[in-house]
Structure 1
Amino acid sequence: MAKQGTATKRPRRERGSLNPEDIVAGAFELAEEISIDNLSMPLLGKHLGVGVTSIYWYFRKKEELLNAMTDRALRQYAFETPFIEAEDWRETLRKHAQTMRQTFLGNPILCDLILIRSALSEKAARLGGKQTERVIASLVEAGFSLEDAVETYSRVQLHVHGLVVLQRLSDKNRELSPESTAYYENVIIDPETTPLLAQAAAKGYHSGAPDDRNFEHGLDSILDHATRLLSGENHTQKKSTTARRATRSATTKTSKPRTRTATK
């Protein structure tokens, strides 16, 4: 459990020995102990063995420090997440999604900075855009239309991020209150009143749980749909629908409006 408002005090540093990189590195160390939510400039100063004014010299407020931490976190995230290869797009996209999820689950600070914290610096936003651009480019190279490539990767991102955030929020609640349970754990399953759910639970199926089984099932569904898109099945359906709409539109335009005969 993250500690509330405590930090290990280091020996006093020599004057002038502090730099922004040391501050950011120390902030990550402290956040591992007390969480991003409890991180503060005074506690960070104590952790680094410097006066808090030394930190304010480089970062005027906590928001600027969090931006710098997010920049570093995104660089780490981009480095750890494998690229998508056009010639083997399905399996490499699967590995990309799996590694993305494992990276966030294995590093709560990374998750809090990138997924839960809403603000991003311009540098971080550009880095995220460049990474997404590379994935889209690989999918387009694999044969996807630009629209299908964007929609496919968007679904993968939403699936991964959504399940990771649900798990992280559940973990954060447990940090605050060890007795608390996740929403999907509060569902009462009784063999008499909910026999189907009871049978499913006995086989390891849990409705709404962000677990491995539900993650892989959802990912398979996204990849299966993407495979159909690439095979042309959905393209044919879209062309047929577009043709029908064009025909209806042309018929409407050429049809003459009815006129009423005046009665005397």
Structure 2
Amino acid sequence: MSTERRVPLDRRRVADTALKLLNEVGLDGLTLRTIARELDVKAPALYWHFKDKQALLDEMATEMYRRMIAETALDPADTWRERLLKASRGLRSSLLHYRDGAKVFSGSRFTGAVHAEQMEDSLRLFTAAGLTLAQAVRANTTAYLFTLGFVTEEQGVHPVPDERREGFDVDERARLLAAYPLTAAAGAEIFGDFERQFEEALALVIAGIGVTYRLD
């Protein structure tokens, strides 16, 4: 009989395993059965921790957030613009670590209060800059939703940074749309250099917030 001690199964270990598998199989291929096989347990064992796949996705998103805040240094002396830049860049970088990372994050609910400290600090910073609480929420939510949507589209082209999905050949697109020259030429802007696209579009979002709320 084997005397090897099995590592206890808990929510965080399951989520960690699921995130590792995500890069291999993608969100559609990620099932509780696949995760159970990787953990060398029977699938019903996972239902002690997660009632369904959405509950697992919630825990995965929470773990992604834990890792993100560990990697994103926020300075109490940040201006509101600096905070939005750092938070948005940090979110994008974190989501790009995982195949379908933005899809996992989108619509998920954090399983604890892991987000509360950073959120409280950002809202305090924005209200100190002169915004009402409602305006502070709107400004932060706008930048967050922009980043989440941007990465969703980016990962539609590049599921992971070094992989390009079939069907996004810019030259082929231009040939098919030759009768619409501006639309054809726009392909290089839409499907190329996502780093530059993100920075330019984020600057537009932040500038719009500043103008709308008359912030310095």
Q: TM-score, normalised by structure 2?
A: 0.72
Superposed, which structure 2 residues align to 1:5-20 within 5 Å? 17-20=7-10
| Cα deviation, residue 170, structure 1 | 3.1
The 3-state SS of whatever aligns with 1:224 is helix
The runs of 5 or more residues in structure 2 that have no matched partner are: none
Q: Which residue of 2 aligns with 1:63?
A: 54
Q: Which residue of 2 aligns with 1:194?
A: 181
1:19 counterpart letter in structure 2: L
- 8 A contact 1:167–1:210 mirrored in 2: no
Q: Which residue of 2 aligns with 1:101?
A: 92
1:212 counterpart letter in structure 2: E
Q: Which residue of 2 aligns with 1:42?
A: 33
- 8 A contact 1:139–1:149 mirrored in 2: yes
2:215 counterpart letter in structure 1: L
1:158 aligned onto 2:145: yes
Task: Report the Cα distance in structure 2 between the residues aligned to 1:42 and 1:222, rounded to whole angstroms.
Answer: 42
Task: Report the Cα distance in structure 2 between the residues aligned to 1:196 and 1:169, rounded to whole angstroms.
Answer: 20
1:120 counterpart letter in structure 2: R
Q: Which residue of 2 aligns with 1:213?
A: 196
Change (3 A) 1:220 1:17: closer
2:8 counterpart letter in structure 1: L
| Cα deviation, residue 163, structure 1 | 0.8
Change (3 A) 1:52 1:107: closer
Deviations 1:115-171 (A, max 9, x none): 2xx3425x35x5446543432211112333434433322321222112111112334
Task: Report the Cα distance in structure 2 between the residues aligned to 1:82 and 1:134, rounded to whole angstroms.
Answer: 13
Q: TM-score, normalised by structure 1?
A: 0.61
Task: Report the Cα distance in structure 1 between the residues aligned to 2:45 and 2:125, rounded to whole angstroms.
Answer: 45
- 8 A contact 2:22–2:98 mirrored in 1: no
1:230 aligned onto 2:215: yes
- 8 A contact 2:123–2:137 mirrored in 1: yes
CA RMSD of aligned residues (A): 3.7
| Cα deviation, residue 19, structure 1 | 1.5
Deviations 1:82-121 (A, max 9, x none): 4364553323432222222222223335423212xx3425
Superposed, which structure 2 residues align to 1:18-37 within 5 Å? 18-20=8-10, 21-37=12-28
Task: Report the Cα distance in structure 1 between the residues aligned to 2:53 and 2:180, rounded to whole angstroms.
Answer: 51
| Cα deviation, residue 179, structure 1 | 2.8
Change (3 A) 1:15 1:112: farther
Task: Report the Cα distance in structure 1 between the residues aligned to 2:133 and 2:50, rounded to whole angstroms.
Answer: 41
| Cα deviation, residue 73, structure 1 | 2.1
| Cα deviation, residue 45, structure 1 | 2.5
Change (3 A) 1:161 1:193: closer
Pick aligned residue for 1:179 from 166, 173, 183? 166
Change (3 A) 1:187 1:134: farther
Greater shift in the superposed pair: 43-52 or 143-152: 143-152
The structure showing larger relative contact order (alpha-carbon pairs under 8 Å, at least 6 residues apart) is 2
- 8 A contact 1:101–1:161 mirrored in 2: yes
Task: Report the Cα distance in structure 1 between the residues aligned to 2:31 and 2:200, rounded to whole angstroms.
Answer: 40
Q: Which has the larger radius of gyration?
A: 1
**Percentage identity across paired residues of the two chains:** 22
